[in-house]
A and B are shown apart, each in its own frame.
Chain A
């Protein structure tokens, strides 16, 4: 009903005498409201009874994406009419209230490529809200799952290996574990250095579209950067949302942002375990230069044991290709002289 009313209102706004076909738009009242709707369709971000997004939403990509169990991720951005996002001096993007960031997760060879879940990051007047929705069996709508859920999925990774996992849809708190800066939720994917928006949307959504300079390398494209540069891009995107001084892993003292000193002990080089427990794997250092087999950063990336594995959330599969890149990076470092 609400959607019909919105469409009607839109139609009435059109010049009289012209037959206007209302363009379906997201339900801004729901976006801006205080409710946590039980159904994804209430936001009207997708075509009715489908996972096909409205054309008004901007599809965006990232040079280097977060690994999520080899899921294909479809990312969308909605900035309400009349408002603009802007790029801050440090490259973070400031989105206006009313913005919705949408990310759908699926596998091309699972359930006909239909998404399993769609996560929303909604910028409301009192801050960002993260909501996970799991798609219903009929694929027509998705249902809020604030407590998350494990969903059995099967797929093949790029090397042809078959995986059957209990994929973890994160709960609302787990969303915040990653999307947290000093305890407040914020987006983590869209940063000017890593964010690619089609030009027509860039000029429509941004006050300063020229500031969107995706200079960060593609982790898997050797033409885009050296091994070290691509490894640092990978660490920034996959680890630094927690591993920064205001993130969930602040107490570890391991800081892996693109802007951190990659030679410093706080980047892991020669850094002893702090609260790693079994995560140390009996090794002395997070990164032992020249020796990936004795670098527990690698050990944790290659583990699936919850007491060892990193990241702690959002991974039920080892990202072999990512680990291989970091192995190569560490192997190519000059060995420390005291070894």
Chain B
């Protein structure tokens, strides 16, 4: 759950579908049970909570199941049965390339973004809206302000100056949330994701009140490997500590209980990232006099650099991500193992796609659904020790400011970085990044930590726990962990 967002019915729905899907796949009649999911969720004569009729409810649930099966909703044929798609999902060799898909039947009801004058307009004498508009797009006619939409550029200045707050900006939540303009309505009024622009940050997933943006799940692929008796290893992101009502050691046992053969903390890789990034900072900024360096562990930021801000690439650290080092270690020691990265966000799926050492990605919501499906009571699990210890600083990578603080903990007094934290990517912070790159300087600090989600990974779009509670739980774990200098020097 993102920072400060209340519980949402859309998350409940999506999780319920995942639970039913997992139960179906682990049960006796997989294909038929998958086909029946929409009917089980909306049985004959049941209430119609959200849509016009039970048929539309079921049609939309069907589409949500398609995403759960890991397919593109837009590309699936309407006539295809869920049972056929369920079979197809088990035959797939690798997951689909783009992690997000749109449920258009659920989303076409949004009014296109525009400025709207409400009935509260008094047609006043001052008419600040008229004078504020730089495009001559608003005029009082017949006692009320009217907008010429041919001229209006949706800047919203008129709304800001109206003394009655009578003018409002109607937004399309996904478009408004997307920091890179990758999701928009086309001429037919249908929303589309432009995968050339999309950085997989997942902000549209959290923003859509209809739950129309779906993540394509890889859960069938993962369970398939476990069912086949393969050695499947969980690599759990630092942000997972604090996601479920149990201790970190109980969590390890719970993950083993559902079929994984081992659990490795990605914080182990974060220790290596920290060490390398600290060395790089010293070399480039302290000794080499580079104006600044940015971190490189947020997958959505890395996609942003590749697709939208290539000019900042020369300032980004060349250090690899914690997931990279962890996966490298696991595959080195056990080349036959299947690796699954447990993720708080969508963006890591893109990173995994580009890294041959990471086979699959499972997000925290999916893990939670898996526990529900199997009735695993995490707080009743035994405690199981992790084979490799990691540091407090590495485990704190999940929180905004944590990466820069870890790097600083590795540096000597005379080499300390001045961190500047981008706490959430949005249009404004992207403009800042472009400015830093263009001017070749950043007055605000010389180590820029970029986190696509406000609050860091704990604020990721696929998390379960509320931010405040998750932070509390994670802090307790961090405080009981050894200092990085003690851990890294002994590795």
A and B: bona fide binding partners: no
